[in-house]
């Protein structure tokens, strides 16, 4: 029996060798799955986050023989967030893949997150055979229908000869105009079929020729700016996705206008610049909120007037003329009506405006803003011996010379990371803005670090948010991803607990994560179980040495910083209120 088994194995190996030779000689065409992966290679895709399953096994087999590096996440949501983080860090299209049914549904939060924040992604889901669609077959779900509200477009591939064209079109759609996610649902029988026609290897440009401002508009806007006594710029995430940060800097300096960003626009303008106001909105700086509120001309570039930025939109910048320039015309006049509105590519529009610069002193306006900065800076009140989140982030800022890429989860720690780190370039602060997805930080930081292995990438997370995708420590360990992780551990779901403190007299509604007053679990212990070193930090006296040890570590490292849980993120504008009702202390 042993000899027969060996003989059978040899026969099978000879069979595979023969078939491989036929394939390499052109006698056997690539099937649908191999065609898909070949197309991804031709498009320059280098990295794919893929979790296997029965309906995507053909795609996984094709990936195994490709030049594309495949990362196996420990959960499909982690894979979607990792692809999202990769895209945010690079501006390229992130790619993730999984099977049908629960594999596909586990991607939904990651897809919605990318859609809300205009992040380019192409998502592949396996699907049951075509003749089984609509029969409630094993692991069949209508992922096209489920994702329709949160994708730019979706493809259900029903024709083997449409595989390559659909993928190329998906990448065009993901990157063009306002970026976003595109879904490709790929039935298993189509994955196995052989194409009957050869499609062109060339693809359309990823972005159509951008449209600028109408010919007379730059001069008219320049005159408007010249007449303004208290102008302010509101820069959104479109500056970053539109690669317009250099043009924005030139425009602001040339006209001597202060710049406030949205949360998604952080990094669009260097925060160490004399004209920088940091970000405004619900937890933004006091002086940015006041400047936006009291300006007489608000220049809105690449932003969508999120409720977290505007508060009560009826009272937002009520005394100002508003100029709105955006690539997505559906955002114009949707929430706040603009006096001057332009559907245009922001980089080209700013380039046109920069041909009409006129520097003005604006001394009174800038001095008023300087006064607000002096009276109400972003600061925390030290408490002897008690470790505070703001101190941790300020120390990270100091140790990294404001040069690390920061990827927070969602919650209080996210806002403190935005407030107390100084961001000087685009794609330095990668955060879940519109959807506010807890569990985003760890896998997104993983994707960012894989995209930029030479950069110092730090995941700043909360103990609640970190636990939502904590299993990605396994991916980090297996792939040797040198990610630095800092947990601001306050043993609570801090942002909701803050709302309870302010509006519900401190009554807890399942926001306390403690078990008999002890922190649970030991994050360092969990990291160690994956072979990742870590360290607990309990006091301010241990902080600098701990950060230095983390940054010096050649691989991944986790710091669990046990912070004061009674601290609130301030300033705070209550939801639905205007900046006139801002809470400072």
Residues annotated catalytic, as ranges: 76, 138-139, 188, 495
Contact 574, 581 (CB under 8 A): yes
Radius of gyration of the chain from Cα atoms? 26
| Side-chain-side CA neighbours of residue 568 (13 Å) | 19
Say whether 304 sits in a helix, a strand or coil. Answer: coil
> Which residue, among 66, 143, 60, 127, has the nearest Cα to 96 in the 3D structure?
60
Which residue matches tokens 């801090």?
A: 494
First CA to last CA distance, the chain: 81
Tokens standing for residue 50:
């893929």
| 549, 553, 555, 557 alpha-carbon torsion, rounded to 10° | -10
Give dist(CA 510, CA 469) in Å, integer: 20
Contact 353, 218 (CB under 8 A): yes
Contact 127, 186 (CB under 8 A): yes
Say whether 24 sits in a helix, a strand or coil. Answer: helix
Tokens standing for residue 258:
């202060």
Tokens standing for residue 557:
């490292």
Helix residue spans in 193-302 (DSSP H): 217-227, 237-241, 245-255, 286-294
Per DSSP, the residues of 110-147 read HHHHHHHTT--EEEEEEE--GGGTTTT-TT---HHHHH
Q: Is the peptide bond before 257 cis (omega within 30 degrees of 0)?
A: no
Contact 559, 534 (CB under 8 A): yes
Beta bridge partners of 463: none
**Secondary structure letter of residue 94 according to DSSP:** E
Per DSSP, the residues of 29-89 read ---HHHHHHHHHHHTT--EEEE---GGGHHHHHHHHTSSSEEE--SSHHHHHHHHHHHHHH
Diameter of the chain by CA atoms? 95
Using alpha carbons, list the distances in angstroms from residue 114 to 92, 295, 444: 13, 32, 11
Where is 155: in which H helix or E strand? strand 153-156
Q: Is the peptide bond before 49 cis (omega within 30 degrees of 0)?
A: no
């Amino acid at each position: 029996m042993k000899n027969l088994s060996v003989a059978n194995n040899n026969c099978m190996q000879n069979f595979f060798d023969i078939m491989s030779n036929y394939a390499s000689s052109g006698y056997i065409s690539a099937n649908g799955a191999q065609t898909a992966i070949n197309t991804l290679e031709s498009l320059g895709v280098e990295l794919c986050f893929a979790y296997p399953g029965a309906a995507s096994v053909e795609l996984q087999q094709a990936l195994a023989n490709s030049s594309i590096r495949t990362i196996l996440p420990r959960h499909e949501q982690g894979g979607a967030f990792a692809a999202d983080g990769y895209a945010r860090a690079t501006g390229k299209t992130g790619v993730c893949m999984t099977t049908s049914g629960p594999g596909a549904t586990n991607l939904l939060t990651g897809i919605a997150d990318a859609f809300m924040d205009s992040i380019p992604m192409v998502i592949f889901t396996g699907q049951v055979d075509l003749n089984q669609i609509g029969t409630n077959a094993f692991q069949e779900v209508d992922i096209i229908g489920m994702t329709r509200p949160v994708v730019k477009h979706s493809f259900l591939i029903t024709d083997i000869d449409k595989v390559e064209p659909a993928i190329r079109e998906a990448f065009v759609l993901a990157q063009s105009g306002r970026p976003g996610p595109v879904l490709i649902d790929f039935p298993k029988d189509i994955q196995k079929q052989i194409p009957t026609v050869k499609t062109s290897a060339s693809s359309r440009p990823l972005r159509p020729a951008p449209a600028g401002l109408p010919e007379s508009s730059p001069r008219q806007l320049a005159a408007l700016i010249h007449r303004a006594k208290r102008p302010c710029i509101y820069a959104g995430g479109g500056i970053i996705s539109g690669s317009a940060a250099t043009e924005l800097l030139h425009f602001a300096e040339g006209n001597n206008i202060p710049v406030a960003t949205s949360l998604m626009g952080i990094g669009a303008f260097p925060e160490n610049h004399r004209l920088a106001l940091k970000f405004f909105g619900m937890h933004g700086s006091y002086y940015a909120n006041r400047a936006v509120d009291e300006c007489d001309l608000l220049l809105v570039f690449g932003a969508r007037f999120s409720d977290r930025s505007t508060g009560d939109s009826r009272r937002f910048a009520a005394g100002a003329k508003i100029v709105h320039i955006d690539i997505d015309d559906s955002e114009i006049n949707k929430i706040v009506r603009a006096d001057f509105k332009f559907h245009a590519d922001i980089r080209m529009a700013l380039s046109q405006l920069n041909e009409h610069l006129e520097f003005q002193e604006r001394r009174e306006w800038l001095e008023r803003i300087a006064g607000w900065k002096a009276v109400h800076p972003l600061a925390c009140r030290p408490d002897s011996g008690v470790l505070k989140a703001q101190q941790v982030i300020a120390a990270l800022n100091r140790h990294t010379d404001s040069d690390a890429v920061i990827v927070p989860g969602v919650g209080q720690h996210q806002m403190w990371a935005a407030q107390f780190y100084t961001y000087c370039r685009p794609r330095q602060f990668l955060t879940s803005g519109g959807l506010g997805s807890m569990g985003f930080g760890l896998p997104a930081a993983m994707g960012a670090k894989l995209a930029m292995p030479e950069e110092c990438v730090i995941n700043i997370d909360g103990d609640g948010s970190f636990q939502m995708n904590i299993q990605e420590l396994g991916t980090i360990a297996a792939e040797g991803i040198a990610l630095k992780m800092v947990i601001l551990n306050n043993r609570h779901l801090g942002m909701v607990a803050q709302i309870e403190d302010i509006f519900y007299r401190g009554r807890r509604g399942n926001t306390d994560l403690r078990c008999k007053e002890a922190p649970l679990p030991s994050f360092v212990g969990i990291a160690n179980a994956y072979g990742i070193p870590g360290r607990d930090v309990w006091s301010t006296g241990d902080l600098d040495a701990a950060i230095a040890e983390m940054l010096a570590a050649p691989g991944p490292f986790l710091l669990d910083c046990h912070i004061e849980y009674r601290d609130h993120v301030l300033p705070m504008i209550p939801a639905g209120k205007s900046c006139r009702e801002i809470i400072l202390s």
